[in-house]
Amino acid sequence: MVNILLSKYNFDEPWISYRLKDIISSSHKVAVIPFSFHDDWIKNENQFNEAYNSSNGKYYDEIVKPFLFYGIEKENITFVNYFKDNAKSAKSIIENSNIVFFTGGLPDKMMERIHKFHLEETLENYRGIVIGSSAGAMVQLKEYHISPDKDYPTFAYHKGLDMIKDFYIEVHYADTGIQNHSIKKVLCEKRKSIYTITNEGGILVIDNNVETFGDVDIYTIK
């Protein structure tokens, strides 16, 4: 499995694309899993389509744009529809893809919906490329933490997918006091390294080998 962890959808930019050109092929098929939406944002299939349909979906263009950069055709990018698909069809979309893409949003909601579709085993045994932005990066970790922000008032640890076990990440890192406090807390309590990923940073993990790109730092216990 190849894992790519980001804060934004900007993996078509020069600071990382020079490396990913060797990994992402124009022939690849992409399964987008947009399960990280807030319950108040999207409540039904119509609202889901307003967000993600290929004609005028609010978020569609920004999600597919980096894949188009690598030569992937729109016809080879399939969104799993939370309100229309089911466990069987979602599994089929994933198994017939070369890349799984997790969108940004709320990581705990992403995991809740993955569980509802019984996709944990399918995703954890996936042999392709897994890319995720923000929440989509966090859920690739066996355990991730959430620093307090406008969506989450308190610090918390949550269970993610059993893909990456050796480190933690702080996405959208901006050197804030809240983020730095969370980093120290994770280092102290978990005794594992933590990578900070700014909005122009990314991490590539291939067979447990970690490469960093752009604005990424690592903090380790001393």
Q: Report all structural domains of the chain as residue ranges with CATH numbers, in order of start.
A: 2-219 (3.40.50.880)
Burial of residue 103 (number of CB atoms within 10 Å: 0-12, 13-18, 19+): buried
Contacts of 61 (CB under 8 A, 6+ apart): none
Please indicate, yes or no, whether the overall pTM of this predicted structure exceeds 0.95: yes
Instruction: Give the end-to-end CA distance of the chain in Å, rounded to a whole number.
Output: 30
Question: What token pair was written down for 175?
Answer: 């050197």
Torsion of CA 172, 174, 180, 183, to 10 degrees: 30
Taking only the tens place, the pLDDT of each residue in 160-200 is 999 999 999 999 999 999 999 999 999 999 999 999 999 99
Per the listing, tokens 């909005």 go with 199
Taking only the tens place, the pLDDT of each residue in 140-162 is 999 999 999 999 999 999 999 99
Mapping DSSP to helix (H, G, I), strand (E, B) and coil, where does residue 217 land? Answer: strand
